[in-house]
Amino acid sequence: MTRTAGEGAPPAQARVLIWVQHLLGAGHLERTRLIAEALAARGAAVTLVTGGMPRPARRPHGVDEVQLPPVRVEDARFAPLVDATGAPLTDAFRARRVAALLAAAEAARPDVVVLETWPFGRRAFAFELAPLLERVATTRPRPRVVVSARDLLQLRGDAARDAAVWRLARERVDEILVHGDPSFARLEDTFPPAADGAVRITYTGYVGAADTDAVPLPIAERQGVIVAASSGDVGGALLDAAIAARALSALAASTWRVLVGPGVPEAAFAALAERGGRAGVSVERHRPDYRALVARARVSVSQAGYNTVQDVLAARTPAVLVPFAAEGETEQPMRAARLATRGLAEVVAERDLAPDVLASAIDRAAARGLAPPCPFASDGAARAALRILAIAPQRAGGAP
């Protein structure tokens, strides 16, 4: 069953526990942070349990945050899982995570438990989510279990695995919130079993932090090219190509700014900065005013991650997307291709990435002028919050 978010009235003083595990970049964490803040703004008591490397710049406002012992991955293979020091996970480490998560749930006494991505991904964390869900199942009144998922999942091509995931969802999940617009992508596009409607699916619209009501800056008042890759260490080839592309572009006389994510080691950053200096390109660490820079740019060059695409579409900045496709990744190429079909971006495949190809794409994007208004619902954080509150079990008299 599919619905639009925002139905029903929330209980007073609803309590929500959210679990999120970011591994390579910070997109999952950022999207979840915005939803947590939207819940808090509507009077909910929110506990956000995070399991990735701490991101101090992304601390949520008005939300209680619990940091589990951090888990990360070394590269785009997403395996093996390691701790903050790079050591493999041990049984003792897993036990500490389980204890911390269950303690957070005990303190929060949630009406709703929100699991980001699971069971469609993050299944390696079953060691801690299974005990949490067992606790939920025996609690009265039973908290609702909600899955928070982006618009496009990673295609697996494994029908048996998908069937097992869907059985788990049918058994454990009350509702799936898809943070996208069904006119752009439906859950069954990347997860076919969802077409049977056995679990309620609600499309919230896209979750983004940009001010979609702002009047876009006219092209004549925009300057320069802004280039950014993942907050992890998977965009080096794009950044290198962008630095070399400046001399080949019709926008060579403009300011070119390359932003490097926090996951890039210092030595690699220094090497990029040195090459950028020789090419007349400003190379900096990722900046908190990235969205403002995009809104003032003549062209944006980036990968095709969920959060970045929302920033670019909201700013109506002509875009070049180089979707991350290493290790069989399908999400970003699919998103980029669908945007290109709608005339919302120029796309350069990773396999074709070269300075001259990228320069040509940048010039084509610049020639397009101001991008069309974003055609998709983009108030997803607010609508997700309303839906989560609406399905929370009612407590008699709003009792604490």
Q: What is the DSSP letter of 23?
A: -
Short-list 370, 324, 322, 323, CA closest to 343: 370
Residue 301, token pair as written in the block: 């060059």
Q: Which residue pairs from 284-293 have beta carbons closer than 8 angstroms and sit at least 24 positions apart in sequence?
A: 284/257, 284/258, 284/259, 284/260, 285/259, 285/260, 285/261, 286/228, 286/231, 286/259, 286/260, 286/261, 286/262, 287/259, 288/57, 290/226, 290/228, 290/259, 291/209, 291/210, 291/315, 293/226, 293/257, 293/259
CA separation (Å) from 336 to 52, 91, 98, 347, 348?
27, 40, 37, 7, 9
Residue tagged 């929302």 (tokens): 310
Q: What's the confidence (pLDDT) of residue 105?
A: 98
Q: φ and ψ at 124, to 5 degrees?
A: -70, -10
* Cα distance between residue 210 and residue 315, in whole Å: 8
Residue 348, token pair as written in the block: 């350069």
- Write the DSSP string, 128-153: HHHHHHHHHHTSSSPPEEEEEEESSP
Label the pairing between strands 81-83 and 71-73.
antiparallel
Provide the 3-class DSSP secondary structure of residue 107: helix
Residue tagged 């403002």 (tokens): 292
Give the N- to C-terminal CA distance of the chain in Å, as an integer. Answer: 32
Short-list 335, 336, 344, 340, CA closest to 374: 344
Residue 195, token pair as written in the block: 């077409």
**Helix-then-strand count for the chain, H and E:** 12, 16
* Cα distance between residue 25 and residue 48, in whole Å: 18
pTM check: above 0.85: yes
Provide the 3-class DSSP secondary structure of residue 229: coil
Q: Domains in the chain, ordered, with CATH?
A: 2-208+378-398 (3.40.50.2000), 219-368 (3.40.50.2000)
Provide the 3-class DSSP secondary structure of residue 95: helix
Residue 169, token pair as written in the block: 């969802």
Per-residue confidence of the chain (400 residues) as pLDDT tens digits?
444 454 444 445 899 999 999 987 788 999 999 999 999 999 999 999 999 999 876 789 999 999 999 999 876 666 799 999 999 999 999 999 999 999 999 999 999 999 999 999 999 999 999 999 999 999 999 999 999 999 999 998 899 999 999 999 999 999 999 999 999 999 999 999 999 999 999 999 999 875 555 789 999 999 999 999 876 566 889 999 999 999 999 999 999 999 998 878 899 999 999 999 999 999 999 888 999 999 999 999 999 999 999 999 999 999 999 999 987 899 999 999 999 999 999 999 999 999 999 999 999 999 999 999 989 998 999 999 999 999 998 754 444 4
Short-list 15, 118, 99, CA closest to 64: 15
Label the pairing between strands 2-4 and 299-302.
unpaired
What residues pair up with 18 in beta bridges, in sequence order? Answer: 48, 114
* Cα distance between residue 25 and residue 47, in whole Å: 22
Q: What's the confidence (pLDDT) of residue 9?
A: 47
Residue 240, token pair as written in the block: 């290198």
What residues pair up with 116 in beta bridges, in sequence order? Answer: 148
* Cα distance between residue 136 and residue 144, in whole Å: 8
